[in-house]
Structure 1
Amino acid sequence: MIGLYGWTAVFGILFLGLLFVLTYVATKRTKGLRDFIVAPTSYGPVWIGLAVGATACSAAATLGNPGLVYSYGWSGMWYGYGYGLMVIAWAVSAYQLNRFSRDLEANSLPDFFGKRFQSPFLRAFSAIVTLFLAFYIAGQFAGASLAITEMTPLTYTTGILIGAAIIVAYVMIGGAHAEILNSAIQGAFMLILGVIVIVSGFVAVGGIGDMNAAVAAQDASLGASSMFGEPHFSAFNGPAIFLALGLFALTPQLSRLWMALDDEKNVKWTLLVALLFMTVMYGLMLVGGLAGRAVAPNLETADIATLVLVSQVVPDAVYAFVGVAIFAAIMSTTAGLFLTCAIAVSNDLYKDTLVPLLEWNIDEATLDRQTNLGTRLMILVMAVVALIIAFNPPNFLTGLMWVGIGAFAAAFVPILLWGSIWDGVTPTAAKVSAVVGFSIHTIGYFGLGQTLGLTLWTVPWRGSGLGIIVSFVLVPLLSFVTSQTLDRSFLNEIFYQERLNVDGSVANRPEPDEVSDD
């Protein structure tokens, strides 16, 4: 008999072979810098829908989130409710992100902010805050190591190093095309994984009612009658993660994928694919956590509840596939994070901010080559930083990831939402709201939580949720009391697809291929 390790090796080799083929295809599609960092308008709704879902759902969705439900019961599903809000957030912003990418040639979310508000400060500040996603990458490494150590005889440290090496290699080689192609295929694996976990829970325990009865018998606070659980899902922290996770949908690694959609008319079909994906992930979180707790109530590491549940139901071959699928889920998100952080430094900070600010005389071709090389080198740097963080295993993978996610969400997601749907947002309002939102999250978690030890503030999404709320309110208030410095013709062009004639009348807007260089 082949056994678990043998099946893991078989599926692992097949998976890596598929990665190699897709990465090779990606290199053939990459013709220049913008192809490497964005892959603009290159893929249809199924590819982008699966890639968006896979990038949104990673070690947290497959391991960490079921681990929260395992530990907190139904109150942990405040996290899962946020999946539905994510799809709504995409529906609000995706059309404009795709349009802005095409019309403004935005290469990233920081680049979007810089061009949308004509603000080098917002481009640079959002690029710097993007680097907080190193905590998110560290969480992915930790999750990859958990999957590897459960399915193979390797150690935690060896698992982290192997996972990091594979991800770094294919992103450095293939860039955005490799990220999208691989993430979409990995998303398909994740859908199969979700179905396996849900079916395993029903086979091992029974229906949702049976799962609820089993966990409530262990501890009444785990049952469906308990809405809140301290401290992660208290009366504020529960709704806070619902809000913060929903708006996590607009963080840089996810927003950038909408720029690769081939046509804004396909947004609705992409959203349908994403909705299906997030529904399956919701089921994985709920069933994986509840049924995992029912069959194995005394796990030392809650994050492996999904693996333990499936191992008791399916044969070794299927269990090995589950392990590889979880690894695929982690790789899809990490690839996007690597590329996003690298672009923030090489493109947004160096090419688009530092070079113009210092008036360096560098020709465009040379600058593109420097940026391309810098992006690849920064992927390695971010890997080293994340590895240092990940070598100390976290109690909850999801909590570690939200240290980084929360910083960007609190600072920039409200601006992205308002800036996508309303032409009245002023650059001043955007700048002040970004600084305030970031400060609330950072001071709350690192100051009140980690330094002063206030228990509720040690939950990273508390500061993020409060920062989002305050920033979301500040944007319109400040926009009403500060002057609009953006030209009216610029706003008409990007929002209403109109151009103004010299006399102020509306001119028909030409198609993109009809626009002259001047």
Structure 2
Amino acid sequence: MSVAAYGWTFLAIFAAFMVWIGLKGMTRTVTSDDYATARGSYAGWALGLSYMAVVASGSTFMGIPGLAYEYGFKAGYYPMLYPIGIYIGTMVIARRLKRAGDRFSSQTVPDFLGDLYRSRWLRVIAALVSIFLIYYLMSQFAASGQMFDVILGVPYRWGVVLAVVLVIAYMITGGAHADIITDAVQGLFMLAIAVFIVACFVAGVGVAGAGPSAVNGALPAEMRWDVHTDPSVPTFSSWWVLVLLLIAHLGFVTLPHLGNKFFALRGGGQVRQFVILSSVTGLVVGFLFLGGILGRAMGIETDSPDAIIPLMFLELLPPWGAAALAIAVLSAIISTADGLLMSISQIFANDLYRKTWVPMRGGDPNSPEVDRRALLIGRVGILVTGVVAALAVFEPPKLLAILLWVGIGGIISALTGPMFVGLFWKGATPFGAITAAVAAFGLYFAIHLGPQFGFYAGVYPWNENPFASTGVASMLGVLLTIVLSPLGKAMPAEHVDGVHANETEQEWRGTSDRQVPVLSREARTDPA
């Protein structure tokens, strides 16, 4: 059998499994909260694998190896630094976000920020900014299209369509339960691929000689491991840019498709297991950039650097092995796409409809009728969002790792200050948080998004480097939240004390019915 024949066989099995998981998840989905968060349902190890899979995404398996294929070992700073930043950020706020989010019964990150600051306006601002997740989703579908093209021989555009149909098929039914379970399984696939790629690199497979030294020697001089920066490459132009790359990822945890994962933990006692497993496995999969370097050393030629990993599979493996690993990579891509679809759909279903529009019209956001309508909006939102993202990448982008950051840099810039400061400082106020979010996003737009959208040329490397731009803007957000909060009206003491109260035994252990104590309705209600 050919690679394509094996690939279609494995894809059919994979698709059937995903849809089955979706139907199983549907049996556990009664309310909009079940659909959006699967609150209190999973142990730390399961959610840890799921979280790692979502963080890794198609960029880790295709975009980052693509950067390494283009720029050599210096590109390794990205996959080595981003997990450190992300998982430090996760360690810092996971437990506090889990605890406070459950007390508020928050369903999304924008929803949580609105609850945390008792501010309808902050919730709306965070929700509107979070729509930029569409760029992240676009990069996942673009990666899927390339995988279908290289391995299964399906034209790129049809590959994008197939990926969208597959994800929508199980996400509309199973919601957060389907998202978490499938991502955990896909996380295991990712680890297997990472181990295989690293083993090939260490052995110097396909290169004259043996070992990493042989791989290094087969590269052009400017791509070898003794070259750390290149002024002509904005992502790796200097050491200070690399430091900002690390800082930018500290706030990665504020992205809506990641932050709401903590709500699904069974209890606060699961956080440690969750953080350890997700961070260790996340560091391991980061070494996949070595595949791009090995592919360049092997002399594999391609017009699309992001496709280097599937091309290596075709070069090194028998047809069945190449097809199996390619489907595993596809699962890695889909593991992020499903969470992104869920998060974007909930922006409309929960943040803008249930928690903003309904109260503005004098309705009860917690009524059964509103809950049913929010559940429907969430499912329709997944369909609409998937179609829009697919249409946007019908022409494949050059480098996926850069595309996905066009949008998420703005989200991280806006939300890092209000999230991190609000979870640790009782003196944070809505005025400080709102002003900081708007100003930080404005700075990111001015130095990066404006040039990216073609409004003006901008200044190098900010106009071409989303990581450096995000690092500076997110630091501004933290500073402004602290400096400007004293100028605003303090929140009620009952609310602040409820947010920062110590974890109860029930919250630590989790409960069988997944219910936890919440703040009183008066303490949680947004002021008029």
**TM-score of the superposed pair, with normalisation by structure 1:** 0.92
Deviation at 1:443, TM superposition (A): 2.3
Q: 1:228 to 1:239 in 2, by over 3 A?
A: farther
**Using the alignment, how far apart are the partners of 1:365 and 1:248 within structure 2?**
34
**Using the alignment, how far apart are the partners of 1:184 and 1:484 within structure 2?**
43
The corresponding residue for 1:198 is: 198
Partner-residue secondary structure (3-state), 1:30: coil
Deviation at 1:20, TM superposition (A): 2.2
**Using the alignment, how far apart are the partners of 1:4 and 1:190 within structure 2?**
20
**Using the alignment, how far apart are the partners of 1:52 and 1:363 within structure 2?**
29
Q: 1:361 to 1:20 in 2, by over 3 A?
A: closer
The corresponding residue for 1:507 is: none
Tell me if the contact between 2:409 and 2:470 (Cα under 8 Å) persists in the aligned partners. Answer: yes
**Using the alignment, how far apart are the partners of 1:17 and 1:24 within structure 2?**
11
Deviation at 1:452, TM superposition (A): 2.0
**Using the alignment, how far apart are the partners of 1:315 and 1:18 within structure 2?**
24
Which of 387-396 and 59-68 deviates more?
387-396
Residues 297-329 of structure 1, C-alpha deviation per residue, up to 9 Å, x if partnerless? 643211112222333222222211111011101
Deviation at 1:250, TM superposition (A): 2.8
Report matched runs for 1:264-275 at 5 Å: 264-275=268-279
Report matched runs for 1:283-302 at 5 Å: 283-285=287-289, 287-296=290-299, 298-302=301-305
The corresponding residue for 2:492 is: 487
Report matched runs for 1:393-412 at 5 Å: 393-412=396-415
**Using the alignment, how far apart are the partners of 2:90 and 2:6 within structure 1?**
38
Partner-residue secondary structure (3-state), 1:55: helix
Which one-letter code corresponds to 2:256 in the other structure? P
Report matched runs for 1:136-285 at 5 Å: 136-203=136-203, 204=205, 205=207, 206-215=210-219, 218-228=220-230, 230-235=233-238, 236-285=240-289
Partner-residue secondary structure (3-state), 1:223: coil
Which one-letter code corresponds to 2:229 in the other structure? M
**Is 1:72–2:71 an aligned residue pair?**
yes
Which one-letter code corresponds to 2:281 in the other structure? F
Q: 1:392 to 1:4 in 2, by over 3 A?
A: same
Q: 1:514 to 1:322 in 2, by over 3 A?
A: closer
Identity %: 26
**Using the alignment, how far apart are the partners of 1:469 and 1:209 within structure 2?**
39
Deviation at 1:384, TM superposition (A): 2.2
**Using the alignment, how far apart are the partners of 1:304 and 1:516 within structure 2?**
50
Which one-letter code corresponds to 1:474 in the other structure? L
**Is 1:40–2:39 an aligned residue pair?**
yes
**Is 1:31–2:14 an aligned residue pair?**
no
Residues 132-175 of structure 1, C-alpha deviation per residue, up to 9 Å, x if partnerless? 11111111110000111111121011000000111112111111
The corresponding residue for 2:308 is: 305
How many residues are aligned here?
502
**TM-score of the superposed pair, with normalisation by structure 2:** 0.90
**Using the alignment, how far apart are the partners of 1:413 and 1:319 within structure 2?**
41
**Using the alignment, how far apart are the partners of 1:517 and 1:117 within structure 2?**
15
**Using the alignment, how far apart are the partners of 2:518 and 2:190 within structure 1?**
42
Mark the runs of 5 or more structure 1 residues left unpaired by the alignment.
500-510
The corresponding residue for 2:55 is: 56
Partner-residue secondary structure (3-state), 1:312: helix
Which one-letter code corresponds to 2:280 in the other structure? L
Tell me if the contact between 2:194 and 2:285 (Cα under 8 Å) persists in the aligned partners. Answer: yes
Deviation at 1:93, TM superposition (A): 0.8
Tell me if the contact between 1:92 and 1:421 (Cα under 8 Å) persists in the aligned partners. Answer: no
The alignment's C-alpha RMSD in Å is 2.1
Which of 330, 336, 340 is equivalent to 2:339?
336
The corresponding residue for 1:451 is: 455
**Using the alignment, how far apart are the partners of 2:191 and 2:352 within structure 1?**
37
The corresponding residue for 1:502 is: none
Which one-letter code corresponds to 2:225 in the other structure? G
Report matched runs for 1:312-327 at 5 Å: 312-327=315-330
Q: 1:332 to 1:233 in 2, by over 3 A?
A: same
Which one-letter code corresponds to 1:219 in the other structure? A
Q: 1:86 to 1:371 in 2, by over 3 A?
A: same
Deviation at 1:280, TM superposition (A): 1.6
Q: 1:363 to 1:490 in 2, by over 3 A?
A: closer
**Using the alignment, how far apart are the partners of 1:22 and 1:284 within structure 2?**
28
Which one-letter code corresponds to 2:332 in the other structure? A
**Using the alignment, how far apart are the partners of 1:294 and 1:164 within structure 2?**
34
Q: 1:23 to 1:452 in 2, by over 3 A?
A: same
Partner-residue secondary structure (3-state), 1:359: coil
The corresponding residue for 1:466 is: 472
Tell me if the contact between 2:104 and 2:519 (Cα under 8 Å) persists in the aligned partners. Answer: no
**Using the alignment, how far apart are the partners of 1:143 and 1:17 within structure 2?**
21
**Using the alignment, how far apart are the partners of 1:362 and 1:265 within structure 2?**
30
**Is 1:89–2:104 an aligned residue pair?**
no
Deviation at 1:240, TM superposition (A): 2.7
The corresponding residue for 2:526 is: none
The corresponding residue for 1:107 is: 107
**Using the alignment, how far apart are the partners of 1:516 and 1:478 within structure 2?**
26
Which one-letter code corresponds to 2:25 in the other structure? A
Which of 480, 483, 489 is equivalent to 1:477?
483
Tell me if the contact between 2:167 and 2:337 (Cα under 8 Å) persists in the aligned partners. Answer: yes
Which of 33-42 and 379-388 deviates more?
379-388
Tell me if the contact between 2:89 and 2:250 (Cα under 8 Å) persists in the aligned partners. Answer: yes
Tell me if the contact between 1:200 and 1:313 (Cα under 8 Å) persists in the aligned partners. Answer: no
**Using the alignment, how far apart are the partners of 1:471 and 1:256 within structure 2?**
21
Tell me if the contact between 2:149 and 2:155 (Cα under 8 Å) persists in the aligned partners. Answer: yes
Deviation at 1:338, TM superposition (A): 0.5
Mark the runs of 5 or more structure 2 residues left unpaired by the alignment.
505-510, 522-528
